Structure 1
Amino acid sequence: MLQAEGDGGGMRFSEFYAIDRTDEDTWFDPDLSVDTALFAAPAKILHDHSERWTPTRLRLTGFFQRLIEAIASGDHGRATEFLRVSEPWQYRLGFSRATNLGISSEIRRGAFERLASTVKGDPSIEVGDFISSIKSVDVISDITCNLLSEDLIPYTQDICRSHNIPTMSVHVPHARWIPESETWEGGVRELPIDSAQGPIILIPRNFLLGREVPRGSFRESEFIPFLARVLEKKEIGQVTTSERISRSAIADITVATETAVWIVECEGPAPQTHRRLDEFISQIQRIKSEAEKGKYRDLRKKLALAIPRQLSSGHKRYLESHDISVWDGPWIAHQAALGGLSVEAARFLGGQGATGRNTEASRLSERLSTLPSGDGAEYQRLCQEIFEYLFTPPLNSPLRESRNETGVNRRDFIMPNYTQKDFWKYLREEYRAHYIVADPKNYTGKIGKEQVLQVANYLQKHGTGLFALIICRNGADKAALITRREQWILHDKMIIVLQDADLLQMLTNKTIANDPEEVIRQKIEDFRLSI
């Protein structure tokens, strides 16, 4: 069943720079960790008649008039140059894509074909009518943001001066449109930066289309029809929602062609543990088995998991090894843009954090994936870096190799848990997780009973508390799982086993501004519900 996820957003610009906003601060206050699903709207800019934005209005109309001329003359190459813009992630708006390479060739080609059908060789078409014909608000927003950078960079600099915000010299791609040569030009500009040294460009709130919606504020009964509309726009087959396959099986969505049928199951929050992935595989394969007996028995069966968030590459590969495609947030956002459904998609997909610019998560994932088994010290050091990146704040920085008073029980690292809200507060109150004890084990095989007992000895009601994480490469054997169960039932000690796949999923969550602790939450739920 699809359930709503938490907001999961990060720090806003005003919080990062400790700004006390007044009524004069009419700029949009972006979340620095995730792209907010709002869109720069040319129509709103053209209807702002203040003197400051007169050059902006002229630049907008001039750009689109030239684009209309190029399309009307059938000059595909010239028109394509107008659309060859970069993903303007400096604004933290719209839907981020898998990379920051800008509008894909598929969207550019589709946009040109649709715009050509609108212009129909007539260069006198009104700019407003032409802009309205561009159905993808994400595409038009990307173009507009790139085009407005020449005006909005000085606007941002004025805001920084008024609030004494420091700036740095940073490179901005497509910082200026040159009408004479009809080309884009990048350059170095003075701008404020975020904690990852990424530049920030601010925009007036009244230039934006849409409203901020907490990510995940929807029900399954709403998400399935939306996804069905996205699939209908693709025109790949007959789309049916909540189709009864048999007396005991109902598919969330089916897409039938003459030779094949897609069976699509929607899940949310996304299954982020191997147990949940295995349960999903069993569920959808059971529906497939039922379909073999009914009206689809003569068609080839294709399976897909549809989720509004994003799975790690390892979890994707695991599903794909069972012949299950993954239609996640970035895939759905891309298809929604092609079908002109970006505004509607915003409610379900949120901003989908800017994965392309999160080099720290990529660096840590690469180190984890390439580190060989056996080197305990290096694995411990890496796990500590990953946990500090994921959870500090709200947790305090890790304390390494802490020993108790007797010097016998050593904890590889612990993270003090003083936070007063959300998941970590719940852990402290429910599982006495005053400190998060983490014990990395860089073993080639699975951990055993001895390793669980060793960690259990660390946990004391009047010491670190009763919650611990064992971090290992390949999970736990049967004896370890039995011992873990006994420690919980007999001594109230909650010991969660994480492996590399779990860490990689946490890092993926972090890049899209989803809660990395969602993995731990699901692990606890899986364990408690198995007893």
Structure 2
Amino acid sequence: MRVSEFFKLGKGQPFLDFVDVRLDTDIAVFVDPTGLKSLNSKWGQECKSMVQHYFEAVLDQIKSGNDQRAQELVSSLRERNEFHLGFSSGKSQGHGFGSKSAESVWGALSKSAAAKSGLLKDLEDTCLLIEGIGRDMVSDAVCNIIRGPLITYTQEMCRYYGIPLNPGVASGPIWDPSAQIWESAFVELPVTSYGPVILVPKIIVRHRLSYEYGEYYTHYLLPEMQSAEKAANTSLVYLLRDGRKRVTKKDLKAKYGSDKLAVIKQTLKHPHVLDEYREEKSERAPPPLDHEQLAEVAGADVPDWDGLAERLRRLPTGNQAADEYEKLIEEILSALFYPSLCNPTKQHEIHEGRKRVDITYMNEAKAGFFAWVSQHYPAAFIFVECKNYGSELGNPEIDQLGGRFSPSRGRVGILVCRSLDKPKVLDARCHDTAKDDRGFIIYLTDDDVLQLIQQAKSGVTSMDFPLLVRKFRGLLD
């Protein structure tokens, strides 16, 4: 049973911001520290900072010879099962640096030349350089380190989707980066018959971690070792018929080994290789899983584009259906614009509650239209207003959305309505708003939304959204 089924949400994975995990076992996806670092949002930066500060604290204790303190920090990453991510085939077990593995993990870290020399800098480095640590352990460790922000996210999503929160639930260890200590508290969390659940945003999970020991050794470190052998003209070098020197990777592995200890020794000789690997991974962080990939790994559904289109066509206009219209538009836009836009908030209060926005999305786009917009204009958030009118939209509706804009929140919004008899009039009003430096408003009618749905249905996975590009350019003319 999934979270959506247990709490009877009436919607599946494509329309949920979090991973709709099975409660009785794990889903084989992982939180990648590299992907986490690529987030632009305040929440993402907080998570990145917490992971970095935690690992620096552990390494500082190891370098200072304070073994007991280092072991305490590591052992607080308990093996817990609230996240339901990883390799467990039966009941969720967790694979963190918990009580069973704390001694071995701490021992490997404290004795490692990589940790003492400064070669080890990031948590994901342990996948490459520390024996016994794999992607499941790193992913679970990350989840535990950012437990505090994930609990806050869980509470926000529960309020958004109508999931009941139970008070007085033990939080588990929460990392305080300022005090560099683990704390605990009683918090509000959703509780199922399988226990408490901490939700994880689907935008931060991946099939695998970006850092992979085999990839690093085979495709980055061994080529550098080949060059070094050739330059020194060692016994591993032999000449081809055309006079070129050759050193095989097989011979290098036979001479130097292929375990993580060998990788550490060779990386210490060629530290720039690890720097280049880190830089490349940073520049080419793996993208979030799309709808099809999530459906495949989690056994979930893909968006029913035909069903969404039919629901929109059949929905009547007018105030009586206004709430239903807003909910439907949120489902459609959440599915269409993922992973560019995420973490939606309904009736988001601004100006100390004096104004509300129908739907506010966090803009985490790395490519396509929304990424381009954020590079040129304030667009940390994208605001959406839904008008289930059977009449024309006028200046009050434009001013209502424009009043939500600010340099810090963003100055880009989408006004969604049913149909227009005089679209050129609304074009002119949106253009005037942009020309007067009051923000950028794109309007979408039913026909526009259906066009976006048809594009998605046809298998176009580009995040360029040519319809939005055309409408935005019209504001700049």
What is the TM-score when the length of structure 2 is the normalising length?
A: 0.38
Instruction: Give the number of the structure whose residues are more often helix, by fraction.
Output: 2
What is the TM-score when the length of structure 1 is the normalising length?
A: 0.34
